Amino acid sequence: MGLALAAIPALRPPAFVESFLYLVFHWIALATSWTILSGFSGYFSFGHGAFFGAGMYTAATLAVTFGVPFLWTLPAAGVVAALLGVGIGAVVFRVRRLRGELFALLTLAVTFVLATIVLNTRIDGGPGVFLAAVAIPRIFASAASTIYVMGVAVALAAVGAAWIVQGARLGRGLFAIADDEDVAEVLGVPTYRFKLVAFGLSCFLAGVVGGIHAIFVTYVTVAETFSITVPLYVVLMSVLGGARHWLGPAVGATFVTVLTYAFVGGEWAVVGRAVVGLTLIAVILFLPQGLFGLIGRRRPGRSVPAPPAGERTVAAGSGLLSEAATDGSATAQRGPTSRPLVRCEGVRKAFHGVQALAGVDFEIREGEILGLVGPNGSGKSTLVNVISGYYRPDAGRILLDGRDLAHQPGHRIAGLGIARTYQIPRPFPRLTLLDNVTLAGMFGGAALDGGQAEREARRWLDFVGLADRASALPTELNLHQRKFLELARALASGPRLVLLDEVLSGLTPAEIGEALALVREIRRRGATILFIEHIMRAVVDLTDRVVVLNHGQLIAEGRPRDVIRQPEVVAAYLGKAYA
Amino acid sequence: MPSLTLLGQSLVSGLFIGGLYGLLGLGLGLSWGLLRLINLSHFALVLLGAYLTYQLAGTAGMNPFLTPLLIVPGFFLLGVVLQWAFDFFRVNEFSSLLVTFGITVVIESVIQWVWTADFRRLETPYATLSVRAGPLFLPVTEMVMLLVATALSLLTWAWLRFTWVGKGMRASVEDPDIAAAFGVSPRRLALLLSGVGAAYAGVAGTFVALVYTLAPSQIYGWIGVVFAVVILGGLGNPLGPLVAGIGIGISESLTMAVAEPSWAPLVSFTLLILVLVLRPDRI
Amino acid sequence: MLEADGLHVGYGDAPALWDISLTVGDGELVAVVGPNGAGKTTLINAIARLLPIRRGRLRLDGVDVTRATPQEVCQRGVAIIPEGRRLFGGMTVEENLEIGCYRRAARRARSESLDRVYAVFPILRERHRQLAGSLSGGQQQMLAIGRALMARPRLLLVDEPSLGLAPAVVDQVFEVVQAIHRDGVSILLIEQNAAKALEIAGRAYVLEGGRVVSEGRPGELLTQSHIREAYLGGGA
């Protein structure tokens, strides 16, 4: 395919055909490079013009002022743009709130700042930069052919890069970030690093595209380069085609370029633009996933084949599976021990002056099911968020094997073998059940490769009785199934400690029975469980020990039947009169 | 170092352009802050209003200051219809940016179809009218623009602050369910607010036609700086855009006076970046 | 005044309700108690028409409001003191109270109602220009009560008024609720703190796992084991 496209110049087409085709590939490359960060991770950048422009001016300056041979300026163009992007990302990606439209605005502002600097320094200085005197390498018959082939090459490189990224760990992580960044981090995705890498790659490609475009237009001006139309069109093309698919932007770019340039001249160009605008409106309203959203929800052509039938474990009524599915961490214990797995020492956390955790000390022992109970607002969820790394405690230590987790990022805590579920399930809404669970296996403590993780994921879906829904989306499930999906996702990471945050709330009595059986089975396989629950009957039935929180402090600890008789505990729940 | 007169004149022109920024930011900030919709098409509506003023005043011979009488009611309806559609299709904050970009492109095409891409200039007797204040010249149309921007900002502020509708609107932004439980109809108020925002675009359009040379691409010319104005002024605060607009306008024109004119955007956008990175909770 | 007949409510990820029937008579104070996650707040929100009702009937003064909008329920004289207070934090204390009397029938009595609320909670008058978000927890709860009173309700829905408050403040809040009741307002009080709620209620329902498991006079319920079981399980 690439060869065929590169061979077009051999047919000696008229020059305008070549430059039209160049423009198509130019936009394909630019839109695809944008998608690698913005489409995949949901961080929509409106600053793609800045990186494109940085590449353009790097190439122009090196070629014109310093006489560097043109081909050598292209890698430099890419590197400069990538450094710029990574530099911005290193600051911006640390600010939790700078997502969505705020990130879009920020990158847009960066474009204008860069434009002003370029315009007022010797890089441009105002009049623009002429590249007419720059020698175009004669790789092919004519200069136009050479530029065209360079355009094809960079477009293929960009589409290829997007294809590789989408299938790789990086892509999996980025898609998870797009759906729910906090959950991705807690599942073990190094979100900060992944965003930086994707931004760097995206900007590098944009920079190279810019470098090539400099020689195509031969006259580089600030107004044209850093205009708002570049980012707007790139976003438009990607969203039209489908920003969550490696080939989507290419389709969108081809469509838009053909529409805007094919009707050259006069009134028809206007009609072309209007059609582009109307298409965008229609796509956002009716096809938010773009044209590629129409085509299946599996990653086309790249799915790992399902394990052969013999290898698959058959759910036997209750949905439990054979021993074969247990992983390495599950070999040791089958019941409570006295060895502490996690110790919390003096953990404190306050919000706006309200003490949610006021110095909590307790330990979770290896192999036990420890109940964590307490009335509403007593600090249970805050404690889970602190242990899993979503919040940093104000003071205190959380020790796992003697190692302090208190200031580790969430993904590292996940890597050490701590997994959690959410009281209100938070599956990645645009990933299939299988992809949801596979992700946990790839990034959590287990750190499996894609194929292995997918096989494990099928087993865990089987374990919770959702095997036949593997290719469904979480939105198609009811609450009880979503709770079980949460469980499967937590288990697929091969955790040593599972934090179960109110898995039972909202379930019917029959479903509760099912869930309790699952929790027991998880422990039997060797994991330690912190079981946070309001339904006291279940806590008494299930747990080995219980700790009680009230107003951010531990008020009782011991065997469940003893604890719920203690007057302080009764008073905390039912009011003083009952104590 | 430039002369004092030049500095004074820059201050004045910064003040006036600040009035335009404030006027443009008022409607954008209302829908963003109170409806959580980022309405890019606001800028297209402004230009559409400007071209309509050009048509009514230039070709049909109407007094340009009377054109809002025709434009504003029409734009109000347009705003209501847009909001109804956004509500119907459940457009959220992020997709609003893309949908309204689509609308912008469509309006731009319509403008280009009707008035072509050539520059248009509304010739009126007011264009050259100016008052002398000591060594300074004060252009009349721009002075009126600043006055109107100030008046509308204050009126909007008072409307939100003191009327039942205004209070209901602010309550619906914070917690639509509880507001509804006390009898407020968040959806109906949103239609009203969107209409008002579009009407402000119409008013701004009239002044754009009076002060500037028109071209369809001018839609994109103010997007960056007006976003900066809206965010710096604080979303949903009707006085914010005017204050921030004047601040940015003056800092731009002073930059122009002491350095090259082309350095002007650096100030506003650097400020915007700093606010976004350091105080993202303000938004 | 209020009749719920076989309500089924379920939405998203909140606890669902199955086949709930309850009544609140004119001038009655009815409590619904139950552990967390039993569906108490879901019930209040369904009655205020903030959540869709899947099956069953809801009547106010005999008029069917199963499919009514929240505004219509409000116009019929129902006001809510929501769980977690849900004040308009960016608005002043007085503006919050004014939203309380947004409904037409209550608007006319604005200044009279304000005086009444300020008489009950003098601290609110002192702070009437302060932003609601800057009040302490107890003061916020008073403001939430005041806001509901401004609506001149005939039926007041009170959701977990003791949540997150110090014991002394809880006592004060319950006294105010009782005083409102004495003024002739019907009250549906939802509360996790069963002891406290049963002290002041005329009748009560016990909610567990989205179902009504018991109902009766507080005295009867206190002697039964239902409540203790609902909260602490059979082992207690």
The string of pLDDT tens digits covering residues B124-150 is 888 788 888 888 888 899 999 999 999
pLDDT in tens, A191-209: 999 999 999 999 999 999 9
pLDDT higher than threshold 70 for residue B179: yes
SS3 state of residue C189: strand
Determine, for residues A375 and C36 on separate chains, whether the beta-carbon distance falls below 8 Å: yes
pLDDT in tens, A153-174: 999 999 999 999 998 999 999 9
Could you give the percent of chain A with pLDDT greater than 90? Answer: 47
Between CA A557 and CA A460, with CA A417 as vertex, the angle to 5 degrees is 100
Confidence class of residue A263 from pLDDT cuts 50, 70 and 90? Answer: low
Alpha carbon dihedral A84, A85, A87, A92, in 10-degree steps, equals: 140
DSSP lists the bridge partners of residue A342 as: A364, A400
* Mean pLDDT value across residues A112-128: 86
- To the nearest whole angstrom, how far is the Cα of B76 from the nearest Cα of chain C? 25
Residue reference for tokens 């039993």: C38
**Residue A465 phi/psi, 5° resolution?**
80, 25
**Contact assessment for residue A77 and residue A210, using Cβ atoms and an 8 Å cutoff:** yes
Q: What is the pLDDT of residue A441?
A: 92
pLDDT in tens, B18-63: 999 999 999 999 999 999 899 999 999 999 999 999 999 988 888 9
pLDDT higher than threshold 70 for residue A331: no
- To the nearest whole angstrom, how far is the Cα of B35 from the nearest Cα of chain C? 16
In 3D space, the residue among A382, A449, A388, A390 whose CA is nearest the CA of residue A417 turns out to be A388
- To the nearest whole angstrom, how far is the Cα of A473 from the nearest Cα of chain B? 21
So where are chain A's domains? 2-227, 366-392+417-578
* Nearest chain C alpha carbon to A578: C195
DSSP lists the bridge partners of residue A556 as: A548
Q: What is the pLDDT of residue A479?
A: 78
Local structure of residue A443 (DSSP, 8 states): H
Determine, for residues C36 and A540 on separate chains, whether the beta-carbon distance falls below 8 Å: no
The answer to whether residue C75 neighbours chain B at the CB level (below 8 Å) is yes
B184 to chain C: which residues are within 8 Å by CB? Answer: 71, 99, 102
Determine, for residues A110 and B224 on separate chains, whether the beta-carbon distance falls below 8 Å: no
The answer to whether residue C108 neighbours chain B at the CB level (below 8 Å) is no
- Maximum distance among all alpha carbons in chain A? 95
- To the nearest whole angstrom, how far is the Cα of B108 from the nearest Cα of chain C? 38
Residue reference for tokens 């242990």: A387
**Residue A272 phi/psi, 5° resolution?**
-55, -45
The answer to whether residue B174 neighbours chain C at the CB level (below 8 Å) is yes
Domain B4-282 classification at class level: mainly alpha
Determine, for residues C209 and A539 on separate chains, whether the beta-carbon distance falls below 8 Å: no
DSSP alpha helix (H) spans, C48-193: 70-75, 93-100, 104-107, 110-120, 122-126, 137-150, 167-182
* Full DSSP string of chain B: ---HHHHHHHHHHHHHHHHHHHHHHHHHHHHHHHH----THHHHHHHHHHHHHIIIIIIS---GGGTHHHHHHHHHHHHHHHHHHHHHTT--HHHHHHHHHHHHHHHHHHHHHHH-SS-B----GGGG-EEEETTEEEEHHHHHHHHHHHHHHHHHHHHHHHSHHHHHHHHHHH-HHHHHHTT--HHHHHHHHHHHHHHHHHHHHHHHHHHS-B-GGGGGTTHHHHHHHHHHH-TT-TTHHHHHHHHHHHHHHHHHHHS-GGGHHHHHHHHHHHHHHH-GGG-
**Residue A418 phi/psi, 5° resolution?**
-110, 125
The one-letter code for the residue type at A35 is T
Q: What is the pLDDT of residue C171?
A: 86
A91 to chain B: which residues are within 8 Å by CB? Answer: 277
pLDDT higher than threshold 60 for residue C165: yes
The answer to whether residue C133 neighbours chain B at the CB level (below 8 Å) is no
Confidence class of residue A320 from pLDDT cuts 50, 70 and 90? Answer: very low
**Contact assessment for residue B177 and residue C84, using Cβ atoms and an 8 Å cutoff:** no
Determine, for residues A560 and C235 on separate chains, whether the beta-carbon distance falls below 8 Å: yes
DSSP lists the bridge partners of residue C158 as: C81, C189
Q: What is the pLDDT of residue A132?
A: 80
The answer to whether residue B258 neighbours chain A at the CB level (below 8 Å) is no
- C-alpha torsion sign, points B34, B37, B38, B41: negative
**Contact assessment for residue C78 and residue C60, using Cβ atoms and an 8 Å cutoff:** yes
Alpha carbon dihedral C129, C133, C135, C136, in 10-degree steps, equals: 180
Confidence class of residue C102 from pLDDT cuts 50, 70 and 90? Answer: very high
* Mean pLDDT value across residues A298-317: 38
pLDDT higher than threshold 70 for residue A295: no
CA dist., res. C58 & res. C22, Å (int): 10
* Nearest chain A alpha carbon to B261: A120
SS3 state of residue A530: strand
Residues of C engaging A, defined by a Cβ cutoff of 8 Å: 12-16, 35-37, 160, 163-164, 167, 192-196, 199, 209-210, 227-229, 231-236
DSSP lists the bridge partners of residue C216 as: C204
The answer to whether residue B97 neighbours chain A at the CB level (below 8 Å) is yes
The better pLDDT of the pair A186, A575 is held by A186
CA dist., res. A348 & res. A554, Å (int): 12
Determine, for residues A578 and C194 on separate chains, whether the beta-carbon distance falls below 8 Å: yes
* Mean pLDDT value across residues A279-301: 71
Determine, for residues B167 and C86 on separate chains, whether the beta-carbon distance falls below 8 Å: no
* Most confident among A89-93, A313-317, A378-382 (mean pLDDT): A89-93
The better pLDDT of the pair B88, C10 is held by B88
Determine, for residues C80 and B177 on separate chains, whether the beta-carbon distance falls below 8 Å: no
Q: What is the pLDDT of residue A305?
A: 42
C213 to chain A: which residues are within 8 Å by CB? Answer: none
Determine, for residues A113 and B266 on separate chains, whether the beta-carbon distance falls below 8 Å: yes
* Nearest chain A alpha carbon to B267: A113
- How far, in whole angstroms, is CA A476 from its chain's centroid? 21
DSSP lists the bridge partners of residue C157 as: C80, C188
Among C45, C69, C151, beta carbon nearest to B182: C151
pLDDT in tens, A396-447: 999 998 889 988 999 999 999 999 999 888 999 999 999 999 999 999 887 8
Q: What is the pLDDT of residue C233?
A: 58
Confidence class of residue A323 from pLDDT cuts 50, 70 and 90? Answer: very low
Determine, for residues C36 and A536 on separate chains, whether the beta-carbon distance falls below 8 Å: no
A284 to chain B: which residues are within 8 Å by CB? Answer: 91, 95, 98-99, 102
CA dist., res. A562 & res. A394, Å (int): 32
Q: What is the pLDDT of residue B170?
A: 94
Determine, for residues B110 and A239 on separate chains, whether the beta-carbon distance falls below 8 Å: no
Fold of A366-392+417-578: Rossmann fold (3.40.50)
Q: How many CB atoms lie within 10 A of CB C198?
A: 24
Among C163, C228, C232, beta carbon nearest to A376: C163
Q: What is the pLDDT of residue A264?
A: 60
C100 to chain B: which residues are within 8 Å by CB? Answer: 182
A113 to chain B: which residues are within 8 Å by CB? Answer: 265-266, 269-270, 273
The answer to whether residue B227 neighbours chain A at the CB level (below 8 Å) is yes
Q: What is the pLDDT of residue A576?
A: 62
